[in-house]
Amino acid sequence: MSNKNNIKIKTFGDFSIIFNGENIIPDSSNKNKVLYFLQYIIQNRYRSVPQQELIDIILANDECSDPINTLKNLAYRSRQYFKNAGLPEKEYVYCRKGSYGFIQDNTCSVDTEEFEKHIAIINNSDDNKKILTAALSAIKIYNGDFLHFSYEQTWVIPLSVKYQDMFIKAMDTAAELLMEKENYGFILEITEKGISMYPYNENFYILRMKALYSMGKIKNAIGEYETISALLFDEMGVSPSEPLQEIYLKATASMSNVTLSVHDALTEIMESPLKNGSFYCSYQMFANTCRFLTRHIARNGLSAFLILCTMTHKNNEPLSICEMKKNSETFHKSISSALRQSDIYTRCAPSQFLVLLLGSNQENAKRAMNRVNSAFKKRHQNNDIILTFQYASHVDLSHYSKQVDINWKANQ
């Protein structure tokens, strides 16, 4: 009798078949037809899959003169994984009357099956204790997108979306019930897992902010908002959603009840230690800084230059999302190293940055941007992507407009 009680199949995240604590699938086997064949019959293991269905699914994009024999070869090679592990391979991958299948023995566990059982309890039970246990179990099982190395298989993507939605539902359900029990620490623990997999999912940050707010950790809640808002804008060029802004406003409003000492205030606002390079801040902070400095300059007769930096192709075509992400990171490094600690910059659009140079004239501003341009070229080494600059100097304040806090004169 074969020992099957140690077979555990994982499809969330990396695909693996664990026997006696070891993965019987070699690391070099990612993205091949043998694995695609094996994954499909495992996902459909409670039925026999007709060979024509497998040909249409697994071999759809292949120019194959003999698909039936190719399928037989895939089945043979998939059995070798089990044979090499000392298991009776034909018990696991079988062929009956022209159809293929995977063992249905319940001593062989598959994570998607266990996951769906817990989701069914969430959807159908009226017992909150059982629902919470099921939700936490589902969250524990889910370790990433379904078969993420097999996305080129068209059948994988719809299932990946389906399971991701189920995971988010489990997360929402668990957080709601944990909130009722005032178990805020557990909410932070499970949402940390969610954010590690889906860092752009605002809902996880909302759950964290609500938990932190309920714990009285208002500053931490505001910090979560600043993290996700910067991430969304820097990576996707979008602003936080209304629900996220609502919990942020609730958190900031409650700050009025907090009493600080001067030491507390300094600890909060000062950098420790002082960082090298120019100062990066959010767009709103940059705008407020410019408004303040306009008043300061008007009073003291100082000078400043505002520069708009745009990343573009040589032929003026816009950058793709991938190019914007890659090159914005390069720009961050370039500008931080090329400018002074007293200079300030922000990202104002997916492919654009604003720089504020204090106490600078036009000649020095252009010299500073030449340093930035040189640092950028040296780092990204792609002559098709260039930086362009537009300059604006602070001028006669007698033309100051009440509707526009800063009065600048453009210089190309």
Comparing 221 with 168, the larger pLDDT belongs to 168
Residues 392/290, Cβ–Cβ less than 8 Å: no
- Locate 296 and state its tokens: 């300061």
| pTM tops 0.95 | no
State the pLDDT at residue 326: 72
pLDDT for the residue numbered 30 = 64
Structure tokens at 100: 């293929």
> Is residue 251 within 8 Å of 225, Cβ to Cβ?
yes
pLDDT of residue 406: 39
* pLDDT, average across residues 329-338: 82
pLDDT digits (tens, 9 = 90+) for 99-148: 999 988 877 899 999 999 999 999 999 999 999 999 999 999 999 999 98
Lowest mean pLDDT among 2-11, 123-132, 367-376: 2-11
| Ranges 176-185, 226-235, 343-352, 396-405, most confident | 176-185
Q: What is the pLDDT of residue 397?
A: 32
Distance CA 109, CA 105 (A): 9
Mean pLDDT lowest among 260-269, 293-302, 389-398: 260-269
Higher per-residue pLDDT: 361 or 255? 361
Residue 338 has a pLDDT of 86
Give the strand pairing for 99-102 and 279-280.
Answer: unpaired
Cis status of the peptide bond prior to 273, with omega within 30 of 0:
yes
Euclidean distance between CA atoms 95 and 88, whole angstroms: 14
Choose the weakest-confidence range: 111-115, 161-165, 384-388: 384-388
Average pLDDT for the chain: 82
List, for residues 84-97, the tens digit of each pLDDT value.
988 876 788 999 88
Instruction: Write down the pLDDT at residue 407.
Output: 40
Model confidence at 260: pLDDT above 60: no
Split at pLDDT 50, 70, 90, the class of 235 is low
How far, in Å, CA of 186 to CA of 157, rounded?
31
Chain segment 37-60, per-residue pLDDT in tens: 999 999 999 999 999 999 999 987
| pLDDT attached to residue 364 | 85
Return the pLDDT at 324: 73
| pLDDT range class, residue 292, cuts 50, 70, 90 | confident
63-76 core/surface letters (b: 16 or more CB in 10 A; e: else): eeeebeebbeebbe
Please determine, for residue 399, whether its predicted confidence score (pLDDT) is greater than 60. Answer: no
* pLDDT bucket at 275, cuts 50 / 70 / 90: low
List, for residues 306-317, the tens digit of each pLDDT value: 888 888 887 777
- Comparing 234 with 271, the larger pLDDT belongs to 234
Higher per-residue pLDDT: 76 or 342: 76
Structure tokens at 136: 């936490």
Give me the half-sphere count of Cα atoms (radius 13 Å) on the Cβ side of residue 181.
13
Q: What local confidence, expressed as pLDDT, does residue 73 receive?
A: 92
Task: Please tell me the predicted confidence (pLDDT) of residue 35.
Answer: 93
